Structure 1
Amino acid sequence: MTAANRITVTVERGSEVVRLHGDVDHVNADQVEREVLTATRAAASVVVDLSAVTFLDSAGLRCLDRLVAAFTKRQAQVRVVAPEDGVVRFTLDLIGFLPETLASTLDEALRGLGH
């Protein structure tokens, strides 16, 4: 599966919502990062939804960190959705990943962006 098959982008309540699917790992993390940045280049606010991510290794974590940094650098608001009971959320909590960006649901993330 290509990174393109792992990424869907929609607009919801004025924000670009990027849904990642499947594994984000050393095999595809660089491509995922490029495609997300390309798809959201003009976005003023972005939600990265990891609800359908089944595996996130260290390359996936670096990808996520670089995405958040890129959005922040261009002054786009950003939130990351990772359900409380998911493996990805456990990993993000374990490493202390930017708690101010995390949300448990898409609705919570969009509310956090002021929508």
Structure 2
Amino acid sequence: MEQLFYADIHNHLAKHAEQIKIHYSLDRIEIYEKQIKHDIIHLGYAVTVNQQTSRVYLRYLRIDQQRLLPFTPIWTIEKQSFKRGYDSLIEALLSLNNQGDQQTRSRKLPS
């Protein structure tokens, strides 16, 4: 796999955040970053849909302060204790959007 630079990934995420927010009707989006142990990092987005925040990210191995190596091309959605993998960011965002729509519909249905 190809080594990537942390700054390039971070800039790419920042550059596309507003466009993603509008296109997928998200309430909020911000860059998500979490250091796992000393050499693993999660980079992606924290997205809020219908007042529920989830994290959508890729896992990277930190080679040094600037260089990263992607583990897999699988995007992970993490929502409280729930985790699921997707082949693309688009698939993951559509899944979150569909979950939000289902929750909204279920709240509107009479009991």
Bin the TM-score by the shorter chain: 0.3 to 0.5
**Higher gyration radius (CA):** 2
Comparing both structures, which one devotes a greater share of its residues to strand? 2
User: TM-score with structure 2 length normalisation?
Assistant: 0.33
Larger RCO of the pair (alpha carbons < 8 Å, separation 6+): 1
Comparing both structures, which one devotes a greater share of its residues to helix? 1
User: TM-score with structure 1 length normalisation?
Assistant: 0.32
